[in-house]
Structure formats: C-alpha cells, structure tokens
Structure 1
C-alpha cells in the first residue's frame, strides 16, 4: 500500500489516506493517548461556531471534527481530498464533499469560518492553500487551525523529537493495514514549522490578527486569524 513522501504529492497523499481510512480515527486516538478528543473540544471553543453560520471543515477526514463543530447549531461542511476518508465517515450526520484545498469548489466569500485539524501539514503548498481558503471566507470571517507544533519545554521537546518516529511506526504496525503511512505522519510532524513560523506563513497569505494557543506543552497549537474587512 502507498505512503506519501515529504514532497506531498496530492495524489500520493490521497491514496495513502484512502488506504488507512477504515481504522484512522481509532489509531489517531490511540497514538495521541486520547488527547485528540481534548484538542477537538478546545478547537471547537476557539472556533465558537454559532447558529446561522456556515463553517467549512477542510481536510475533515471522516468528519469526526465536523460533528464536534456543529454542536452549537452552525451548518458545518466536511471536505476532504481523500474520498476513502469521506466514505469511512458516511455514517455521521454531516454534509460531505470531496474537495482539493488548492482549488476549492466554492464561490468567493462563502463561509463565515474555515477550520483545519491536524491536516494542514499534508498540503503540498501551505501558503497557497491558505490564500485559497482566504478567498472563500467572508470579510471579517475567521480561520482556526489545530496542528502539531514544537513543544515549548526543552525536556519534552527532546523526548518528542527523539521518540516520535519510533512510537508512530510502532503504532502503525499494530493498528493499520499500512504501517508505512505512520512513518510519513511522524516525518511530516518533525519537519513542520514552529508556532511563530506558521503564524508568519498565515499572515503572508493575507490573514490578519494571527495568534496561537499552545496545547499539551506545545505538542499541538491552535492558530486563529481573521480575513480583513
């Protein structure tokens, strides 16, 4: 079965996630020791989606995050490049659409907010995707990104970098039909920029009011930004 490389060819990434879709949510919870649920809850609070709003949950996978964001009454759409991931989430009661983050099939100014959870690092062009997302968000609308980041406490940062690849490879070998996919996930985490650098990339794509919140000692961070009026 395929695994993507750090070149992040979109077809390789989609094929890789298609191959692990059936067990992805279970493996994700296992390898994060259940923290993924806490991260989703906090992301939902930061997003603060309200009734009457339209929210795009981009790279939503099976839609587990979309369900969380829709609890407040907003209309939330799950979009993903991996059709296999969407099919694995068809039992969830949220609308779904196959979509490429680099060329979104939506009109300008369509959404009040866009959110991405633990998936931005899989996009082939981070700044390009952020600029395309900006296009479909209404003026004054918001962007909320939950993504892996750099632990702020030096001992945790050392352990995180030293053992992450080994741990995810071990998890993948026991929970997935494609263990090599988890090697890619670990490599993509280790190659991902820190909090400030990602904030600068977001700002360079045209977003304003960029700020971030560290979770779990900075292992994950939530970045929030707004589209200029």
Structure 2
C-alpha cells in the first residue's frame, strides 16, 4: 500500500500551523513578560489607567468604554452585623489576593447578594460569589500559553472552527462588533479587517491578562479600529442598549456563572436585526467518539498543560467545564428564552464544537 500524497500535504500544513503559532505566541509572550507585572496596589487603582480603552477615548456615538473597578462590589454592599461584616471582609480580602482585582469587574455574585447559593466550577461545587475569581485564576495562569495550547490541543482545527463561525456572522463594512470573552483576539482581528475604517470592533474580556495578550497582538497587527474593554459578560455594564450589529463569544460562555443573565445582556446591547454567534464546545453526537474524546480530554489535556504551560489543574478544569456546559438543544432553548429569534446551531467535528446563532427582532 502506498502513501497518499494528500495525507503528506495535510500533515505538512498541520505542522506548519502549529510551528507558526508557537513562534508567533512566543514573540507575544516575550513582549508581555517585558511589561512590569501589576502589584495589588496598582491593580486596585481606579481603572481609568492607560492600559485599556476609556469612555472619553472612544469615538463619538460608538461603544462605551470601561467600567470603573470597585473591589468585590463594595458599592452594593448591605449593612450587616459586625461579626458578619468581619467574616465577609476576610473572605473578600482572601479573594482579592488570589487574582488581579481588575478581573472582579462588576461581579453580580457576592456574599451579600447570593449568600451561600452554589454553582459548579468544573466538577466542583462552589459558592456563586467565588466562581468568577476562580475562573480568573485559571485564565491568568494560562494567558501567555493560551494560543499555543489551543493549537496543540485541537491539532490546529480550532482555526477552522473559528473560520466557519466568521462565515456565519454576516459581518459587513461599517458595522459595530462586540467580541465578548475575546481574549487573545483571533476573531476580533478578522472583524477589524471586515468592518473597515468606517466600522468599529470592541474586544472585551473579564480577564486582564488575556485582554493584554489580545491588545499586544492586535496593536502589532495594525488594527486601529479596535478598542479593548474589561467587561463582565453577565452584565456588559459598560455598553449601552442597542449598540452593536454583531456579538460573538468564542469558547467563553461555559465559564460564565449565570449564562441566562449573560444571554439577556447580549440581547440588550444588540441592535434590532443584529446577530449573536456562540462558538463553544458541545456534546459529540457519535457515542464512540464521545468516549474517545473523554479519554483524550482527561488524560492528554492536563498532561499537555503541565508540559507546555506548567499548569495541569487549569486544563483539568477546562475539560470538566466542557462536560458541564449545556448541550446543543438546551443552549438553543436558553437563547430563545432570552428573546432571540430564528435560533439554530451547526455541529462541527461531530458535535465536539457547535456554532449557535440567534437574531434580535
């Protein structure tokens, strides 16, 4: 039996994709490491710093800038007894030392608002008030190796998934685009080119480390019609109603504490006739593939995370979070309940990933 030349070509292309990605992201990591790391004191200062876009810096009539950071939603804190307040303050202080305070933007889940109400963090059960900080820890840890790991974990196929999602976006010149949880900016870079000089793109993420990597990448690529905004997907508080023609969230929805609240916020900031695209891991439709995928996810992913990013626990969480995410039909129903119409989904790679699409009437 002779080798198929097409297989050799595909393998060569695959190898080149991974090597190019590794080289590119090593350059980005070197640039990011050269920047001084923020201390707790500087991280907790008013978010009107030069790092990310401010309200006054955005074009008139365009999207809306960055929320001022307030540690652990102190502005919404209720009066409690002295002992309760002391316990609450101790919990807040512990949480603040675990992650960059700018990642706790407008957290709607606090001990004051949610009490002991619980949710999942991977397979673990945690208080709702704690999940955002835990997710922030994960992505702060993996930010500088995120794109390398994506190429390795998916064998480069994530690029094809994103390309297909973009093909469904209907993005046009002059439009306003919000890429939620956009991290390192893969989609925003393409949208920047597609909307042109008359359009505008906002790359938002709740995690400052991820957003900084995206900012470096897009600035280096000459994307001068993109702003970078720290924002919580559940509230999208910095953005006005009916601001965007297109919203995208790529591999980020499963990390949100309250997905229903996030979908309602996405509906709020979308213009009438606008479109939402969700690219996310989903449930394989072929049972033998599902079992092989589980084996790969819970053995190979943490091992690669340890070897490449020196962090196996974060990739264990990522594997678990995929399993806890709603399946295709459930997410479609959630979108409809949030108000979206003509919702559909497209399975990719036999349902390992799905693109969901919905419209605002």
Which TM-score band applies after superposition, normalised by the shorter structure?
A: over 0.9
The 3-state SS of whatever aligns with 2:121 is coil
**Structure ID, larger Rg:** 2
**Could you tell me how far apart the structure 2 residues matched to 1:103 and 1:175 are?**
34
Could you list the runs of 5+ residues in structure 1 that have no partner in the other structure?
none
Mapped contact 1:212–1:222 kept (Cα < 8 A): yes
TM-score by length of 2: 0.60
Q: Which moved more, 1:154-163 or 1:194-203?
A: 154-163
In the alignment of these two chains, the number of paired residues is 228
The 3-state SS of whatever aligns with 2:178 is strand
Could you list the runs of 5+ residues in structure 2 that have no partner in the other structure?
1-97, 100-119
Please tell me whether residue 99 in structure 1 is matched to residue 231 in structure 2.
Answer: yes
Alpha-carbon shift at residue 83 of structure 1 (Å): 0.4
Instruction: Map 1:66-105 onto structure 2 (within 5 A).
Output: 66-73=188-195, 74-91=199-216, 92=218, 93=223, 94-104=226-236, 105=238
Mapped contact 1:169–1:183 kept (Cα < 8 A): yes
Mapped contact 1:41–1:68 kept (Cα < 8 A): no
Alpha-carbon shift at residue 173 of structure 1 (Å): 0.9
Instruction: Map 1:168-187 onto structure 2 (within 5 A).
Output: 168-187=301-320
**Could you tell me how far apart the structure 2 residues matched to 1:58 and 1:134 are?**
13
**Could you tell me how far apart the structure 1 residues matched to 2:214 and 2:270 are?**
25
TM-score by length of 1: 0.94
The aligned counterpart of 1:37 is 159
Mapped contact 2:235–2:261 kept (Cα < 8 A): no
The aligned counterpart of 2:67 is none
**Could you tell me how far apart the structure 2 residues matched to 1:102 and 1:194 are?**
20
**Could you tell me how far apart the structure 2 residues matched to 1:64 and 1:177 are?**
23
Please tell me whether residue 199 in structure 1 is matched to residue 199 in structure 2.
Answer: no
The aligned counterpart of 1:216 is 349
Mapped contact 1:17–1:84 kept (Cα < 8 A): yes
Mapped contact 2:234–2:259 kept (Cα < 8 A): no
**Could you tell me how far apart the structure 1 residues matched to 2:318 and 2:310 are?**
15
Mapped contact 2:256–2:262 kept (Cα < 8 A): yes
Alpha-carbon shift at residue 153 of structure 1 (Å): 1.6
**Could you tell me how far apart the structure 2 residues matched to 1:89 and 1:179 are?**
23
The structure, 1 or 2, with the larger RCO (C-alpha pairs under 8 Å, 6+ apart) is: 1
1:11-43 alpha-carbon deviations (Å, 9 max, x no partner): 221222112111111111110110111011111
1:21-69 alpha-carbon deviations (Å, 9 max, x no partner): 1111111111011011101111111112101110100000111221123
Please tell me whether residue 27 in structure 1 is matched to residue 149 in structure 2.
Answer: yes
1:61-97 alpha-carbon deviations (Å, 9 max, x no partner): 1112211233322422110000000111222133211
Richer in strand (by share)? 1
The 3-state SS of whatever aligns with 2:235 is coil
Mapped contact 1:123–1:129 kept (Cα < 8 A): yes
Instruction: Map 1:41-190 onto structure 2 (within 5 A).
Output: 41-73=163-195, 74-91=199-216, 92=218, 93=223, 94-104=226-236, 105-190=238-323
**Could you tell me how far apart the structure 2 residues matched to 1:168 and 1:5 are?**
17
